[in-house]
A and B are shown apart, each in its own frame.
Chain A
């Protein structure tokens, strides 16, 4: 369901530059465009400046942790619908519960498996494709209404 004419832009957010590089390289190998960010603030800035399809967000970061970044993204209508996949070494009940409460799209424990990561990203891209297709059909109806014609 991925659109052939659109290469998905995936943002990787982690305070450890090596981790960002490792993940970005993996994403490129899977055929995605990787956008790198090494802090929550950078993530928020980029998300407002350019189109991003999915965000891979580390939970533990100094200054602004993954949850704070997630809250900020969800509060802004321009970024609220970007699916967020939490990737964290801290996989415990509290972290998952908070991710669930904040409405993250998925939650992965480090270390992640290559296939698993790619599959979870593709699931969110499929969802975006469904969303676009639904929007397109809806606007076809609106158009039809404006023209006042019958189908």
Chain B
């Protein structure tokens, strides 16, 4: 018992102490991720405004926190604000505070989130959702470093570093007039773009290991291994919810697995059928609704060709022999059942 506690503690130390905040925020060995980590470390020691762009779940807030904790501001507050979650009419007073009686219901004076972030960092997530009139006010704060609460005629100096974040639509919002161009450029002093997980598939096994390590630290004394087949499925999947979705999946698999082995059988069906490894089902009888014979024959042919290639380790000559075909016939079939599919729709067609 004591031993497992020691191991768990060690693994926890590995996760929290030995990795720098930038490493923990951006796990991976993909060349772009390595460069991003260097950029995060480099920008953290400045006071420059940062605009983080990335799809949902790609880890924008995690990166913002890493920048804060690597900066000289680490002992002050990190204040996250989700501009999409706060009703528009409240956002201004939430951000900048208000005087007593500034509007109906403003019973007392209140400090805003900018004041809370004084000396620290304010993280404005989903900045694209901020109403235009408030964007003008934010621009003035960025330029002059002063904040004026709602209903007040006095401005107060505020020393808060601004890190903003958005999905990929901010440029489009600028073009459409929904987001101020001057504010966009003022925020984008240092742009940080976090790529979606599907663009750096090679990091998926590493991330899975990392999340399993986190689960070991949370549930000391337990350990899990993942089968190669399950890992291949995780690697093949497109992860629209990015790193967050992958982490949730690993947690779910750990909870579902009973004997500490994470097998492909535990994976949700949508994650498994995404790869084309499933076998075509050939109906034993014709049935009332009939079949599409051409499609079935094509499927069977493809499957047999695939099998033959698998058995022969990809040797086309030997595969042709296995199927009783001439090498040239085999090549022709391979090409026909093969290069570009009829119709233009793929699974990830968009």
**Chain A interface (Cβ < 8 Å from any Cβ of B):** 1, 16, 18-19, 22-23, 26, 59-60, 62, 65, 81, 89-97, 100, 103-107, 109-117, 119-120, 123-124, 126-127, 130-131, 133-135, 137-138, 141, 151
- The reply to whether the CB of B56 lies closer than 8 angstroms to some CB of chain A is no
Give which listed residue, A18, A96, A123, A124, contacts B232 with CB less than 8 A.
A96
With A16-B335, A112-B341, A127-B32 already in contact, the answer to whether A119 and B309 are too (CB < 8 A) is: no
| A116 nearest CB across to chain B (Å) | 3
Which 6 pairs show the lowest CB-CB distances between chains A and B?
Answer: A116-B346, A113-B346, A111-B341, A60-B314, A127-B199, A115-B349
Distance in angstroms between the alpha carbons of A133 and B32 in the assembled complex: 10
Q: Tell which of A16, A22, A26 has the most Cβ of chain B within 10 Å.
A: A16
Distance in angstroms between the alpha carbons of A97 and B39 in the assembled complex: 32
Interface string of B300-319 (1 = CB under 8 A from A): 00100110011000111000
Question: A127 near B339 (CB under 8 angstroms)?
Answer: no
**Chain B interface (Cβ < 8 Å from any Cβ of A):** 31-32, 35-36, 38-39, 42-43, 46-48, 189-193, 195-196, 198-202, 205, 228-229, 231-232, 235-236, 275-277, 302, 305-306, 309-310, 314-316, 331, 334-335, 337-350
Classify the interface of chain A: helix, strand, loop or mixed.
Answer: helix
| B295 nearest CB across to chain A (Å) | 13
In the bound complex, residues from chain B placing their C-beta under 8 Å from that of A124 are 199
Question: B232 near A65 (CB under 8 angstroms)?
Answer: no
Distance in angstroms between the alpha carbons of A63 and B341 in the assembled complex: 28
Question: A96 near B190 (CB under 8 angstroms)?
Answer: no
With A110-B338, A134-B39 already in contact, the answer to whether A96 and B275 are too (CB < 8 A) is: yes
In the bound complex, residues from chain B placing their C-beta under 8 Å from that of A115 are 344-346, 348-350
In the bound complex, residues from chain A placing their C-beta under 8 Å from that of B199 are 105, 123-124, 126-127, 130
Q: Tell which of A81, A94, A103, A113 has the most Cβ of chain B within 10 Å.
A: A113
Give which listed residue, A65, A91, A131, contacts B275 with CB less than 8 A.
A91
Q: Which residue from chain A places its CB closest to the CB of B302 in the assembled complex? A: A89
